Amino acid sequence: MTMRTLIVDDEALARNRLRKFLAQEPDLEILGECADGPDAIRMIREQGPDLIFLDVQMPEVSGFDVLRAVPASRLRAVVFVTAFDRHAVEAFEVHALDYLLKPFTRDRLQQAVARARKHLQPQEMTALHEQLQEMLKSSKGDSAYRTRIAVRNGTQTVFVRVTDVDYIESAANYVVVHTQAGNHVVRETLTSLESCLPPRSFLRISRSTIVNLARIKGLQTSPGGEYVVVLQDNRQLVMTRGMREVQERLEYE
């Protein structure tokens, strides 16, 4: 079995070290390298690698953010690469397939690859998948949510602060992020993005719309009987959630 492998790390030296050591594994094919979270999300969705070497700490979009943003069906084996000290690693060590503590040796990497070979056997995959999902649940404190949203613009990536978002609406397999400065199209589903936003600050008011609670000025009923959210700039958004439910969120947040 050839293990199709993806390297994800924002540090060029770490990527080079991984590529050099992994090139010596005869049953391993390197699909590519990613230097940031958004690129990793795209590659995982498109390629569905068997094995991912994933940096935990990356700017804006962390390794955990990457895993939450892709369908579970595209995740098989993940080895975390981290500069955390051993005490911090213990928090997720029990749930991960393996982890590499920077700076790692070739022998330590070989151990991780050997473990991946074993766990990628069909009889091991169910347990491995359950471990990964449990890790994601247990790591989802407030600090695990995104503070910025990465937006691709040609060859550039810009980062929109979550606090600058007015609302987000779905558009097929994309979402449109609305801010006072302009709108941004992001290749991500609304449900996927919702899972990465702090629930204390954002509320899904309909199947197609998520609103920043801080941007809501009021609630009203339209002449046609629809419930409407009124934003600070007087834009109006139709909501399908009950008026009382949204009002309670606004009162207690």
Ordered by where they begin, the domains of the chain are 3-142 (3.40.50.2300), 148-252 (2.40.50.1020)
Mean pLDDT in residue range 109-126: 77
Residue 90 has φ and ψ, to the nearest 5°, of: -60, -25
For 26-53, how does the pLDDT look when each residue is reduced to its tens digit (9 = 90+)? 999 999 999 998 899 989 988 999 999 9
Query: Three-class SS of residue 157?
Result: strand
Please give the mean pLDDT across all residues of the chain: 82
By CB neighbour count within 10 A (0-12 exposed, 13-18 middle, 19+ buried), where does 176 fall?
A: middle
The partner residues of 183 in beta bridges, in order of sequence, read: 178
Confidence class of residue 253 from pLDDT cuts 50, 70 and 90? low
Question: In the chain, how long is the greatest CA-to-CA distance?
Answer: 70
SS3 223: coil
Q: What is the mean pLDDT of residues 136-163?
A: 71
Is the pLDDT at 109 greater than 90? The verdict is yes
Per-residue model confidence (pLDDT) at position 132: 57
The pLDDT of 231-240, averaged and rounded, is 93
